[in-house]
Amino acid sequence: MSLKNELKFVYVIAIICLVIGVFCYSSLPAKSPEPPVRLMFKTVGGNVLFDHQAHGDVPGLACEDCHHTYKKGETDVPVSCETCHKADSKFVSALGDNGKFDHEGHSDDYGLSCNDCHHNYYEEDGGEPQPCSDCHEAGVVDDYMPGRVQAFHKQCISCHEDNGAAPGQSDCESCHAPRKTVEAFHGQCIKCHEDLHKGPSGSDEDCKKCHGF
């Protein structure tokens, strides 16, 4: 090839490449798939690469096992954990010392009787009511007996809605101050692995099996 033709050839290459390049970049915006394939959590303790697709493929794992506020068949896709479990918040259960549930307010001030909640207890019998979780056990659900979470949600929320009182069904944060992101992730990932005896556990030598990226 003569020098002149060589130059022309390169010009043509440059123009073709530029056109294809611009076309590819502008017409194919990298959109992230729903649901995600893999997720990378950047943390100060080493990144965590979470294979979302592989977890979805494990037989017996359902979306709801992790996206615990997501109802099967809902048209919307699950939202990210951070919308509820924020990095700067402190985990507070609805009950207990830090909880937002105010027993005194409910039993003394709102004009309710003990029996509205302690449904098998009558004040005139004396003594103390049994804790709800004695009968409504965590994680146990059957047709007859509501589980712990179901029992609380049903009772608290239905009374609020009947009385037009706050907080209602969709107002999670008024009862639950959201859990910290890290606690939420550790709680869920590690708890499931330990329950199933598969995947990295919470032991010290297992940290780097997640935090190695």
Q: Are strands 39-41 and 48-50 parallel, antiparallel or unpaired?
A: antiparallel
Other beta carbons less than 10 A from residue 198's beta carbon:
10
Among 7, 16, 18, 79, interactor with ligand HEC by CB under 6 A: 79
Distance CA 195, CA 107 (A): 38
Give, in order, the Cα–Cα distances in Å from 164 to each of 73, 103, 118. Answer: 29, 19, 21
* Dihedral, CA of residue 90, residue 92, residue 96 and residue 98, to nearest 10: 40
Instruction: Name residues contacting ligand HEC, limited to 87-106 (CB under 6 A).
Output: 93-95, 100-103, 105-106
| Binding status of residue 77 toward other proteins by CB under 8 A | no
Instruction: Name residues contacting ligand HEC, limited to 15-74 (CB under 6 A).
Output: 34-36, 39, 41, 43-45, 48, 50, 52, 55-56, 58, 61, 63, 65-69
Mark the segment that binds other proteins (CB under 8 A) among 22-30, 90-98, 102-110, 112-120.
Answer: 22-30
Task: Write down the residue that tokens 């959590």 correspond to.
Answer: 41
Return the one option of other proteins, ligand HEC, none that residue 140 interacts with (CB less than 5 to 8 A, by type): none
Among 90, 119, 198, 208, interactor with other proteins by CB under 8 A: 208
Other beta carbons less than 10 A from residue 199's beta carbon:
15
CB of 155 to ligand HEC, least distance (A): 4
| Binding status of residue 44 toward other proteins by CB under 8 A | no
Whether the bond between 167 and the residue before it is cis, its omega within 30 degrees of 0, is yes
| Binding status of residue 147 toward ligand HEC by CB under 6 A | no
| Binding status of residue 212 toward ligand HEC by CB under 6 A | no
| Binding status of residue 110 toward other proteins by CB under 8 A | no
CB of 169 to ligand HEC, least distance (A): 6
Task: Write down the residue that tokens 């294979």 correspond to.
Answer: 51
Q: Using an 8 Å Cβ cutoff, are 141 and 147 in contact? A: yes
